Amino acid sequence: MDSQFEPEQDFDNYYDGDTVTINGFIFCGRHGQEVCDKCPTDNRNCNNSTVEQMLHEKLTEEEFETKWKGDDREPFNVTRQWTRLSNGKPGCMAHKEVACKECFNWGDKLYRSIHGGRKPRVSRLHKKDKQNKDVLH
């Protein structure tokens, strides 16, 4: 086959048997683990390098320093969450979409895991304030 007809390689979304890269994050191809003791592999360092800049910009300095665990963070896994689509690319099982914004938005997931934890506490506080005021009236 003439090389000019080959599709442009998308290195953020491809499967080569040993590894599957989904929206820029690398997992082992056999188990869909970011950190796998069977293969064995640990892709957190490599994967973090693609989102660390964004996290540093979006999080406060304090959050980044104290809550971002870097290469020690909880690993992701895509076990049974991805499938090979008809074009050979890995996509999400739920929507059959390559680089699905809903399933594989790693940067957003990490951001929310650090930043989103506060919200419930705040809303509970508000409720408490309201109750206290009601009691006072």
Q: Which residues bind Zn ion (CB under 5 A)?
A: 28, 30-31, 36, 38-39, 92, 94-95, 100, 102-103
Task: Give me the least distance between CB of 75 and Zn ion, in Å please.
Answer: 11
CB of 39 to Zn ion, least distance (A): 4
Find the farthest-apart pair of alpha carbons in the chain and give their distance in angstroms, rounded: 81
Q: Which residue has the tokens 């940067």?
A: 107
| 29-40 core/surface letters (b: 16 or more CB in 10 A; e: else) | bebbbbbbeeee
Measure CA of the first residue to CA of the last residue in the chain; give whole Å: 81
Q: Write the CB contacts of 101 (distance below 8 Å, at least 6 apart in sequence).
A: none
Q: How far is the CB of 101 from Zn ion (least distance, A)?
A: 8
